[in-house]
Amino acid sequence: DAGITQSPRYKITETGRQVTLMCHQTWSHSYMFWYRQDLGHGLRLIYYSAAADITDKGEVPDGYVVSRSKTENFPLTLESATRSQTSVYFCASSLLSTALISDTQYFGPGTRLTVL
Amino acid sequence: AQSVAQPEDQVNVAEGNPLTVKCTYSVSGNPYLFWYVQYPNRGLQFLLKYITGDNLVKGSYGFEAEFNKSQTSFHLKKPSALVSDSALYFCAVRDISDSGAGSYQLTFGKGTKLSVIP
């Protein structure tokens, strides 16, 4: 049972380069989320997706692009990386039922991204 | 708008003593409340949640949390701390009364580092 995985786990890149972080979940959860974790800020939502081909902005979406062509994958792309995007990125998924009961978010192990 | 405050950046407690990690929240409607734990170089792990019903919620690893609507608090507690409980703890809230597009978003606090001293 793989659950939710992220790749790569560590990435170093340079300013201006495009970077894609991958997220894959095996639970068929409908909702998926991308967060960034920075000291002093906790976790902040970048983008989320309610289903395949449905995405929406979170609190800090600028500089990021997402897509969701398949339910199980939710890649996050930094189109032109900046130093301020150095962070730890977490993907999460959730089975949000109409009864709003099973809405716990389950997190991947994270990707530590450094932009030089 | 919803928000969460964890007033203590760090909590130190001796092994065997009771521990409390504080959390207060603000929502316009009714809250869903969550506690997550993060061990070094790991993702967040779900501990417990409050949706409705009994104000005392029991979760994983012997943790529990008490929902207090009048004080808008959801403090995490454990009767006897273990060294292995040392980690970063996050409180999170979602306003279940919000039917808008962002209603499925969780808002996290900044985290509290718990250190249990042997």
A48-76: pLDDT as tens digits: 998 889 999 988 999 999 999 999 999 99
CB atoms within 10 A of CB B108: 21
Residues of A in contact with B90 (CB under 8 A): 42-43
A7 in a structural domain: no
Three-state DSSP class for B1?
coil
Residues of B in contact with A94 (CB under 8 A): 104
Alpha-carbon distance of A46 to B105, in angstroms, equals: 10
Architecture of the domain delimited by B3-117? Sandwich (2.60)
A106 in a structural domain: yes
* Side-chain half-sphere exposure of B21, counting CA atoms within 13 A: 31
Instruction: For residue A98, give the CATH number of its domain.
Output: 2.60.40.10
Q: Per the omega criterion (within 30 degrees of 0), is the bond before A8 cis?
A: yes
Three-state DSSP class for B62?
helix
Q: Examine the pLDDT at B100 and tell me if it is beyond 60.
A: no
A9 in a structural domain: no
Chain A residues interacting with chain B (CB cutoff of 8 angstroms): 31, 33, 35, 40-45, 48, 50, 56, 58-59, 90, 92, 94, 96, 100-101, 103-110
How many domains, chain A? 1
Structural domain span for residue A105: 14-110
Over the stretch B50-66, which tens digit does the pLDDT of each residue have?
988 889 999 989 999 99
Is B42 within 8 Å of A110 when comparing Cβ atoms? yes
CA B66 to chain centroid, in Å, comes to: 10
Over the stretch A71-113, which tens digit does the pLDDT of each residue have?
999 999 999 999 999 999 999 998 765 545 447 889 999 999 9
Alpha-carbon distance of A88 to A37, in angstroms, equals: 5
Residues of A in contact with B45 (CB under 8 A): 107
Is A96 within 8 Å of B43 when comparing Cβ atoms? no
Over the stretch A5-38, which tens digit does the pLDDT of each residue have?
999 999 999 999 999 999 999 988 888 999 999 9
